[in-house]
């Protein structure tokens, strides 16, 4: 993962975009975090860079991606929001300030109603929805590297993720972020069940892929005969979704038949 990866991702959906703002934000963050390392031992800049790549994967605007690169500068360096505003303007400063303030909130209960109140507080505090998007990308990248934290911290972060951040992603309609957050949290909260499920799903991979392709072929024929032009996407259901269904319906893995999903985009 490097800056070239970020540029490539951005240009894949905005080939004529001016990357000067992104370059400036990256250079500023790289200098601000110079000498800092994460718990994993890697350079700190890889975290904001990872966050920016997630935002680019969501095809967000350059201002949001630049704020993603800068989101930890105020919290973890001597720079202030005034410094950010002076260099990048009030809009990016607002986003960075919002992410910084949300980062100070602490979730300390497992009660479902309290989790819902916490999610509402998150949304209320964010003056711009892009603040939530950056925070979700921040949490997703942190979850991808959670294994480097102590076990107790892993569980704490995983619980926050499944109670707060995955439902927020769902509420905003960002399915692929929700799915990955849930699967990552599941891996740390119920490790044995997670890896057992991964193994069982892997053994049925070929059958599952054949089933998806068959469904897509049938749907394409029916839509074509009706004069409907549509894009059809097939995907396996993510692990946490399967695990939840097994628990809620009190079924074994072999009793769960809908391991795939198909999306039709007209």
Q: Based on the fold, state whether residues 179 and 235 are members of the same structural domain.
A: no
Q: pLDDT band for position 257 (50/70/90)?
A: low
Per-residue confidence (pLDDT) for residue 212, from 0 to 100: 75
User: H/E element holding 234?
Assistant: strand 231-236
Cα separation, 217 vs 232, whole angstroms: 9
CB 132 within 8 A of CB 172: yes
Active-site residue, selected from the candidate residues 76, 83, 85, 128: 76
CB 14 within 8 A of CB 22: no
Q: Based on the fold, state whether residues 258 and 172 are members of the same structural domain.
A: no
Q: Based on the fold, state whether residues 171 and 86 are members of the same structural domain.
A: yes
76 is catalytic: yes
Assess whether pLDDT exceeds 80 at residue 118: no
Active-site residue, selected from the candidate residues 31, 75, 111, 210: 75
Q: Based on the fold, state whether residues 219 and 103 are members of the same structural domain.
A: no
- At which residue do the structure tokens 């892997």 appear? 202
Per-residue confidence (pLDDT) for residue 82, from 0 to 100: 97
Per-residue confidence (pLDDT) for residue 37, from 0 to 100: 96
* Token pair recorded at residue 176: 């692929």
Q: Which of 112, 117, 65, 111 is nearest to 92 (CA)?
A: 65
Domain boundary among 189, 213, 229: 189
- At which residue do the structure tokens 């300030």 appear? 97
pTM for this prediction: 0.87
18 is catalytic: no
Count of alpha carbons within 13 Å of 212, Cβ hemisphere only? 18
Counted domains in the chain? 2
Average pLDDT of span 176-185 = 96
Q: Based on the fold, state whether residues 185 and 210 are members of the same structural domain.
A: no
């Amino acid at each position: 993962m490097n800056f070239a990866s970020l540029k490539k991702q951005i240009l894949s959906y905005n080939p004529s975009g001016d990357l000067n703002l992104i370059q400036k934000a990256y250079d500023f963050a790289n200098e601000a975090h110079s000498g800092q390392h994460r718990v994993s031992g890697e350079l700190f800049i890889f975290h904001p860079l990872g966050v920016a790549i997630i935002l680019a994967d969501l095809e967000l605007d350059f201002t949001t991606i630049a704020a993603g690169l800068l989101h930890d500068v105020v919290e973890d360096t001597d720079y202030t929001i005034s410094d950010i505003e002076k260099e990048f303007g009030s809009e990016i400063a607002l986003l960075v300030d919002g992410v910084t303030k949300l980062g100070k909130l602490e979730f300390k209960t497992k009660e479902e109603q309290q989790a819902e109140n916490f999610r509402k507080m998150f949304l209320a505090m964010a003056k711009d929805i892009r603040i939530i998007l950056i925070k979700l990308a921040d949490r997703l990248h942190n979850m991808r590297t959670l294994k480097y934290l102590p076990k107790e911290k892993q569980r704490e972060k995983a619980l926050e993720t499944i109670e707060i951040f995955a439902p927020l992603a769902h509420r905003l309609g960002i399915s692929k972020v929700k799915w990955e957050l849930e699967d990552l949290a599941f891996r740390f909260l119920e490790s044995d069940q997670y890896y057992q499920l991964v193994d069982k799903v892997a053994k049925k991979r070929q059958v599952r892929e054949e089933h998806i392709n068959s469904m897509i072929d049938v749907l394409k024929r029916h839509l074509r005969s009706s004069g409907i032009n549509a894009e059809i996407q097939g995907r396996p259901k993510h692990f946490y979704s399967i695990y939840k269904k097994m628990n809620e319906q009190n079924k074994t893995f072999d009793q769960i038949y809908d391991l795939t999903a198909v999306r039709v985009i007209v």
